[in-house]
Chains A and B, each alone.
Chain A
């Protein structure tokens, strides 16, 4: 993402800041009005698909987010007139197993529909095809990569889909665990970070394909990457989240809310947080570092 270039600034700011310091403090941030969050990211595979519904909590609270149960939620295929209803697993977790690989089709637009008492929540999203992954490799780097220490680093060899305006979200799993620290949010527009980048259809550029982890992989560790082709709106949603979570120091930008794409049609004043997106998922095989 664009912010990767900004990483240089904190380094220099750190170098020059005359004994700058950060202290964790407590402050009255105003009443924490609780709001509903819907997390619905669906892919085209026949894997189990999950939707999570929760409520926001006070920013400085150490509690975990409470799940929130509603009457029903699912994906509406308007062309086929089919509603794929998700089953509740309790505590706001809902699942659905697509019966066939053709359940969700590329290029088609699907609707999210949810009923919560008298309120109806809706959204829509178009499914884009996934990329083709050529290979997934590792290499021992004596000098480290991107400021990391020496060790094994992974490289994803895949090309952007032909045609301008493809958006991607890369998710790294280390030993089956999703890497989800703020610095782990890796996004791309075509093969780079910018709508005007000239490398449409080419290999993802180095700051993407080689930059999945600043910490090298140890012997015996496993790595896997998911590449999600996401709608443009989803890219900006994630990009905004990334900006909010990596926003520190002398050059921080004013924090802003991350607007989602789900609305309450009978009460537009009711704000629903979260996002609904159909995504085309490509996955690397699991790589074991020997």
Chain B
């Protein structure tokens, strides 16, 4: 509520130094989509501003005539003369470079943001860049592209999510139009839930995290959906080996009063048909013959502009994976709905109010007729989140806002039928509320130094109704036992945590093409994904912080050198170092029972974490050859009392070296070839070195060293290539064929090692190297666009 009281004095328009506001929106000329992060400045660079996520900018200027330049990477810069005698509204519609190239050459220098902006440890990917990366089965995938960025890794192919700077997958805040997505994967981890046809851009923030993001330790992945072409109808789609995509977007009923482009929509869907294709091959396989496995997702968004000060957006996502075999069914999915209202209180005060609903659930069912078992689990949350930007003056931009979220965790409700007798049981619901307020100022101290400083204060309450357990342990890493219980009524506060989270970032420009940056941020995390499998499974349960599970807290410092070089400054390079310390990291007792366990808390341990490393990044943005090279040298460790003799040990996400190369070369307007190469050190794993028998059970593995993660898996490397054949473009139609080869040299990259008794000879024990993809995977897909 503190923030609301701040608004009133800020809504005044005139400032004492006789400056006026030049404000407006920056959009793409071809479809009216907002352009976030574009630079708006006077020609001499003395006054500058940046457009926000909704394309809005505001620049304070003294009275007089100014030459204003608006520019963004991949677009032709626009220069206009504006006479400032009072507040002025000026919208920009930028023309894409590729459109410009058709007619005449562009010589304007590309202005790159990474040197200028105070953001660090941040990667922006536009959907056109993502589309150039060769993908598994030819399907463009946002999370797979993110995995190629510096500081990002995965535990292996087919694993869901991604790991940022040594963090676990649940430490990433994944936002789709502001709403959190709890499971970002389809088909376990082979594809992500984001339909590339509906996505405008993606931003990954690994460090120097702005105050408006919070709730996860490692990163924020901010995925923004397209608004929908507000100029003309457009149909996009693709037919691939594993699924097909289809989307429609366009303006809604141009307004009779003459105000054009008031409203637009986009609706996009995908559905896999691997089950249909696989059917003939499974005819002779008894257990898989009648199996179903497919996924689908639907993304929709509509927006309406009431007037120059008010615009409303409604977006929704629903996706589901369904697996089934005779007598068994398993399905899971996310649903999110976001309602946003952009409001201009004044030319200097921009507000975005978001209300969202997000629901993740899975269902598990077994049995037929009179003997069935069905299990269901959900995590539901409602949020309200106003974010305000006050363009105080050319030197200071203040952001502030709040977040209020109510969570309802349904760890499991089960129904069983045995001989026709029905029973209902399960685990009790859990409730929690999270709130956060933040305020942050970005200050241009002088032409060289820019600072961003702020604080976020987050608070989390674990609420009743519920039974609370008091726990004790014999040994530090033993399973806890219950020493007492207490019941709380509905809405009663069981435990509360407060975490002040200071945020700081600085950019010092060494020259117009080089800068050094430093940042510090503290993050807190109140929700935890309880999972100790190699790859996270959809059954994994999210749990709130409770009286026994303390919130995770992370502190990170980072520093880096950023530089643009080359003709037209088309190369962008950076070196960054980071160090992180993490508190209250969740670990598990040996042999933890995490599934359907009412005493889940007894299985959890708490420890410390630390991660540090260096990231090198070289990116070429323009020309025939584009792409990037990312190299990360890092270490990620844990320390938990009672585990690994209480020493620091490398955690599951530790990859010492990680190099990714993504390159795309346009041979001619018809043909473009792309490649991606990945090299990564193996992750550490636990393996036994001895064995014994017990009552006829043979081959029981035992690690005599008692050290956690005592063996490192062999390195991972893979090359993927693809070629895109652009068919003849017409005004009405475009289409292209994409031919791809994944895992070109058919390497059996180890996903994990595990031990087992030889299935053909129970007396013999084996060490198995498990590769998820063990062969070349060719693909072909056809993409189209109708206008």
Measured CB to CB, the residues of A under 8 A from B are: 2, 5-6, 8-9, 11-27, 29-35, 37, 39, 41, 54-62, 64-65, 144, 147, 149, 178, 180-182, 185, 194-199, 202-203, 205-207, 236, 239-241, 243-245, 247-259, 273-275
Which of B226-234, B283-291, B721-729 lies on the face that meets chain A? B283-291
CA distance A233 to B70 in the complex (A): 70
Q: Give me 26 A-to-B residue pairs in the complex whose CB atoms sit less than 8 angstroms apart, sorted by A's number.
A: A11-B287, A11-B325, A12-B323, A15-B278, A15-B282, A18-B773, A29-B688, A39-B693, A56-B690, A57-B691, A58-B690, A59-B702, A61-B691, A147-B286, A180-B762, A194-B596, A195-B598, A198-B423, A203-B418, A245-B700, A245-B756, A245-B757, A248-B770, A250-B159, A251-B535, A273-B692
A34:B534 contact, CB within 8 angstroms: no
Task: Give the residues in chain B near A54, CB-CB below 8 Å.
Answer: 692-693
Which of B79-87, B503-511, B745-753 lies on the face that meets chain A? B745-753
B767:A149 contact, CB within 8 angstroms: no
CA distance A218 to B280 in the complex (A): 31
Task: Give the residues in chain B near A180, CB-CB below 8 Å.
Answer: 695-698, 762
A252:B754 contact, CB within 8 angstroms: yes
Task: Give the residues in chain A near B687, CB-CB below 8 Å.
Answer: 27, 29, 59, 255
Minimum distance in angstroms from B169 CB to a CB of chain A: 14
Ranked nearest first, the 4 interchain pairs of A and B with the lowest CB-CB distance are A21-B774, A240-B591, A256-B590, A56-B690
Which of B243-251, B555-563, B626-634, B704-712 lies on the face that meets chain A? B704-712
Task: Give the residues in chain B near A11, CB-CB below 8 Å.
Answer: 287-288, 291, 325, 328
Task: State which residues 275-332 of B face A: CB under 8 Å.
Answer: 278, 282, 286-288, 291, 293, 323, 325, 328, 330
Minimum distance in angstroms from A177 CB to a CB of chain B: 9
Which residue of chain A has its CB nearest to the CB of B698? Answer: A180
Pick the contact of A274: B371, B691, B692, B756 (CB < 8 A): B692
Minimum distance in angstroms from B378 CB to a CB of chain A: 18
Known contacts A16-B293, A256-B591; is-contact A35 B423 (Cβ 8 Å)? no
Known contacts A2-B593, A2-B595, A60-B767; is-contact A254 B532 (Cβ 8 Å)? yes
Minimum distance in angstroms from A244 CB to a CB of chain B: 6
Known contacts A16-B190, A19-B775, A30-B705; is-contact A255 B694 (Cβ 8 Å)? no
Known contacts A9-B537, A60-B767, A257-B703; is-contact A20 B423 (Cβ 8 Å)? no
B685 lies within 8 A of chain A by Cβ: yes
Minimum distance in angstroms from A261 CB to a CB of chain B: 12
CA distance A60 to B773 in the complex (A): 26
Interface centre among A26, A149, A254 (most CB of B within 10 A): A254
CA distance A263 to B700 in the complex (A): 19
Task: Give the residues in chain A near B764, CB-CB below 8 Å.
Answer: 62
B418:A248 contact, CB within 8 angstroms: no
Pick the contact of B710: A30, A39, A253 (CB < 8 A): A30
Task: State which residues 736-787 of B face A: CB under 8 Å.
Answer: 748, 751-758, 762-775, 777
B690:A33 contact, CB within 8 angstroms: yes
Task: Give the residues in chain B near A245, CB-CB below 8 Å.
Answer: 697, 699-701, 756-757
Pick the contact of A255: B187, B537, B686, B763 (CB < 8 A): B686
Measured CB to CB, the residues of B under 8 A from A are: 136, 158-159, 187-188, 190, 274, 278, 282, 286-288, 291, 293, 323, 325, 328, 330, 364, 366-367, 371, 416, 418, 423, 425, 427, 479, 532-535, 537, 539, 590-593, 595-599, 652, 685-706, 708-711, 748, 751-758, 762-775, 777
CA distance A274 to B366 in the complex (A): 35
CA distance A58 to B687 in the complex (A): 12
Q: Kindly list 12 other residue pairs between chains A and B, CB separation below 8 angstroms, not including A2-B596, A181-B762.
A: A2-B593, A9-B539, A11-B288, A15-B278, A16-B293, A19-B773, A55-B692, A195-B598, A245-B699, A245-B700, A249-B754, A251-B533
Minimum distance in angstroms from B722 CB to a CB of chain A: 17
CA distance A77 to B199 in the complex (A): 73
Which residue of chain A has its CB nearest to the CB of B368? Answer: A143
Known contacts A11-B325, A275-B694; is-contact A60 B700 (Cβ 8 Å)? no
A255:B692 contact, CB within 8 angstroms: no
A57:B690 contact, CB within 8 angstroms: yes
Minimum distance in angstroms from B189 CB to a CB of chain A: 9
CA distance A18 to B418 in the complex (A): 37
A59:B767 contact, CB within 8 angstroms: yes
Pick the contact of B755: A59, A62, A239, A251 (CB < 8 A): A59
Known contacts A16-B188, A20-B773, A245-B756; is-contact A250 B765 (Cβ 8 Å)? no
Known contacts A182-B757, A240-B591, A252-B754; is-contact A56 B691 (Cβ 8 Å)? yes
CA distance A102 to B531 in the complex (A): 47
Task: Give the residues in chain A near B756, CB-CB below 8 Å.
Answer: 182, 245, 247-248
Task: Give the residues in chain A near B701, CB-CB below 8 Å.
Answer: 59, 244-245, 255
CA distance A33 to B707 in the complex (A): 13
Which residue of chain A has its CB nearest to the CB of B773? Answer: A18
Task: Give the residues in chain A near B765, CB-CB below 8 Å.
Answer: 59-60
B293:A255 contact, CB within 8 angstroms: no
Known contacts A15-B293, A29-B767, A59-B765; is-contact A253 B533 (Cβ 8 Å)? yes
Task: Give the residues in chain A near B286, CB-CB below 8 Å.
Answer: 144, 147, 149
A13:B757 contact, CB within 8 angstroms: no
Which residue of chain A has its CB nearest to the CB of B292? Answer: A15
Which residue of chain B has its CB nearest to the CB of A17? Answer: B772
Pick the contact of A258: B416, B695, B702, B777 (CB < 8 A): B702
Which residue of chain A has its CB nearest to the CB of B160? Answer: A250
CA distance A8 to B425 in the complex (A): 22
CA distance A249 to B753 in the complex (A): 9
Minimum distance in angstroms from A258 CB to a CB of chain B: 6
Minimum distance in angstroms from A60 CB to a CB of chain B: 6
B598:A59 contact, CB within 8 angstroms: no
Which residue of chain B has its CB nearest to the CB of A194? Answer: B596
Task: Give the residues in chain A near B325, CB-CB below 8 Å.
Answer: 8, 11
A22:B770 contact, CB within 8 angstroms: yes
Known contacts A16-B293, A254-B532, A255-B754; is-contact A241 B188 (Cβ 8 Å)? no
Which residue of chain B has its CB nearest to the CB of A239? Answer: B591
A255:B768 contact, CB within 8 angstroms: no
Task: Give the residues in chain A near B699, CB-CB below 8 Å.
Answer: 245
B158:A250 contact, CB within 8 angstroms: yes
A24:B591 contact, CB within 8 angstroms: no
Interface centre among A17, A149, A239 (most CB of B within 10 A): A17
CA distance A41 to B591 in the complex (A): 22
Interface centre among A13, A22, A58 (most CB of B within 10 A): A22
B590:A248 contact, CB within 8 angstroms: no
Minimum distance in angstroms from A25 CB to a CB of chain B: 5
CA distance A34 to B704 in the complex (A): 8
A16:B274 contact, CB within 8 angstroms: yes
Which residue of chain B has its CB nearest to the CB of A30? Answer: B689
Task: Give the residues in chain B near A243, CB-CB below 8 Å.
Answer: 591
Minimum distance in angstroms from B539 CB to a CB of chain A: 8
Known contacts A27-B753, A244-B701; is-contact A22 B288 (Cβ 8 Å)? no
A8:B694 contact, CB within 8 angstroms: no
Minimum distance in angstroms from B161 CB to a CB of chain A: 13
CA distance A1 to B599 in the complex (A): 16
Known contacts A8-B328, A16-B187, A250-B188; is-contact A255 B688 (Cβ 8 Å)? yes
CA distance A18 to B241 in the complex (A): 13
Pick the contact of B425: A182, A198, A205 (CB < 8 A): A198
B188:A13 contact, CB within 8 angstroms: yes
Task: Give the residues in chain A near B592, CB-CB below 8 Å.
Answer: 253
Interface centre among B136, B691, B777 (most CB of A within 10 A): B691
